[in-house]
Structures are given as structure tokens and as C-alpha cells.
Amino acid sequence: MSIPDIDTGLVSQLAISDEIEKIHASARVGETQPRLGFPPYRSAILRHPTRDLRNGDPEGAELFAPVFGHADVDVLESDLTIGGAGEPIGERIAVRGRVLDGDGRPVRRQLVEIWQANAAGRYVHQRDQHPAPLDPNFTGTGRCLTDEQGWYSFTTIKPGPYPWHNHRNAWRPAHIHFSLFGTEFTQRMITQMYFPGDPLFALDPIYQSITSERARARLVAAYDHDSSRHDFLLGYRWDIVLAGRHASLMEDGDA
């Protein structure tokens, strides 16, 4: 075990990076999801199951995601920049992409929820005590429904990186939290979208809890010039593939 810093009781980035490297070196090829037990992320140590997950055969309510519609979500909720009296500070961006199932089929008319820090790396959440400014014109929460082709789209501000206390001088890469539903309840997931080229990737135990570099890259949006808008914003593209199959496979007769 590495020696904690005398003032903060926190271990160094070097120690965390060393732990990450050792785990990655012994990882199986082909892991696509994060490890649940990943000690470099200290909060995970007491919060992950140690027994194998049981194989479930989905039935009943597991076969049907909840249904959302225009009674649930206003179209204005997809624009995070219009909630205040003025313009939020920061780099205005659009993030768009498709939500697909494992067979490439679009997830239609389904809820997507996002939340994020502001441009200075500060969340509105009361527990965020990072001494960076709050923005009176930015709360950082949004919702939308996917369209008939599975497309979602948000207008927002590029979030800033922020410090946390996992270890000494720990910083989260800039990210947007995404909450996603599929067509089956078993496809429910929450994840984080990152921005290309972030120098903090290699240092972050949450991002690195996915041991495969190719799998990690699936969380990184691409700059998309076709989504950028003249004189107004920069565009990013990020597609999401949900794990798990769904019942219509059996209706199609190919399962």
C-alpha cells in the first residue's frame, strides 16, 4: 500500500496511476464494461459486490422499459443554455447522437437525461464545495426524448474539469453524465461522456476502471463539424449502444 500524504491523508497520483497500470496489465482481453471492484477508485472499495452476478432470464416487467412522452418532457428541456435571464458563461456546444440497441436498432421516443458541471467545473449540487464560481444562468440539467431514428440532441456549455478527493491532486476529466433507457428495463444504464484529447484521461480512476482502451474510447465524443453552427456553437457527436437484447428478437423469430 502506498504512503498517504501527511497533510491530506491522500495518496499521490503516482501511486494511483501505478495501481491502475498493474490492474490493466493483468486484465483479460475483451472486457467492455468497467470493473465493479476497482480499488484505485477509493469509493468503490466497499460498494461493489464480491460474488458473481447471477444469470437472469428476463421476464415480466424486466422485458419492458418505462414509457415516456411529451407529457413528461418539454422540448425546451434539451437546451441547457436558456434557463436563466442571460447567457451562461463558457463554450456553447451541441451534443447529438443516436441511442441504439446491440443489433443496431434505434431506441425510439425514449428518455435521455443529462447533468454536468458548468464551464468552471462547478455543479449546482450543494455537496459540491469546489471554490469555483456558480453561474446564475446555468444549472446543468437537461432532458429530451429520442426521435424515430433514435437521435437525441442537447445544446449546452462545455463543462470544466474539477478536483475531487480520491487522491492528492485528483482531477476529473470534463464529462457529461448521461442516463439512458432502452426498450427493455434490462437495458437501463447511466454513464459519462468525455471530450476528445483530454490530458486527464490517463490519470482518472473512474475512466480507467474500463481496462480496455478500445472500450474506454467508446465514452469519448467526436468533434463533428457538421453539427457546429455558423457564428453560434461547436458540435460533438456521441452514439450510445445499450447492453442487453430485447424481446422483439423473439417476435422476429431469430432468437
Considering only residues 158 to 187 of the shown chain, the ones binding other proteins according to CB under 8 A are: 177, 179, 185-186
Among the listed residues 96, 98, 123, 152, the single catalytic one is 123
Phi-psi region of 187 (alpha: psi -120 to 50; beta: other; left: phi over 0): alpha
Q: Does the annotation count 216 as an active-site position? A: no
| CB closer to other proteins out of 47 and 230 | 47
Q: Does 26 bind other proteins (CB under 8 A)?
A: no
| CB closer to other proteins out of 108 and 218 | 218
Q: How far is the CB of 157 from other proteins (least distance, A)?
A: 15
Q: Which stretch binds other proteins (CB under 8 A): 84-92, 113-121, 149-157, 228-236?
A: 113-121
Q: Does 46 bind other proteins (CB under 8 A)?
A: yes
Q: Burial level of 231, CB count in 10 A (0-12/13-18/19+)?
A: exposed
Q: Does the annotation count 24 as an active-site position? A: no
| CB closer to other proteins out of 140 and 160 | 140
Residue 98, C-alpha cell as written in the block:
443516436
Please, which residues have CB within 8 angstroms of residue 239's CB and are 6 or more apart in sequence?
97, 98, 99, 100
Q: Which stretch binds other proteins (CB under 8 A): 11-19, 57-65, 86-94, 146-154?
A: 57-65
From the list 64, 151, 171, 223, which residue makes contact with other proteins (rule: CB under 8 A)? 64
Among the listed residues 96, 143, 167, 172, the single catalytic one is 172
**Alpha-carbon gap, residue 46 to 68, rounded angstroms:** 35
C-alpha angle 213-214-215 in degrees, rounded to nearest 5: 90
Nearest to 227 by CA among 215, 218, 236, 217: 236
Number of residues that bind other proteins (CB under 8 A): 82
Q: Does 43 bind other proteins (CB under 8 A)?
A: yes
Residue 196, C-alpha cell as written in the block:
476528445
Q: Does 6 bind other proteins (CB under 8 A)?
A: no
**Alpha-carbon gap, residue 73 to 141, rounded angstroms:** 13
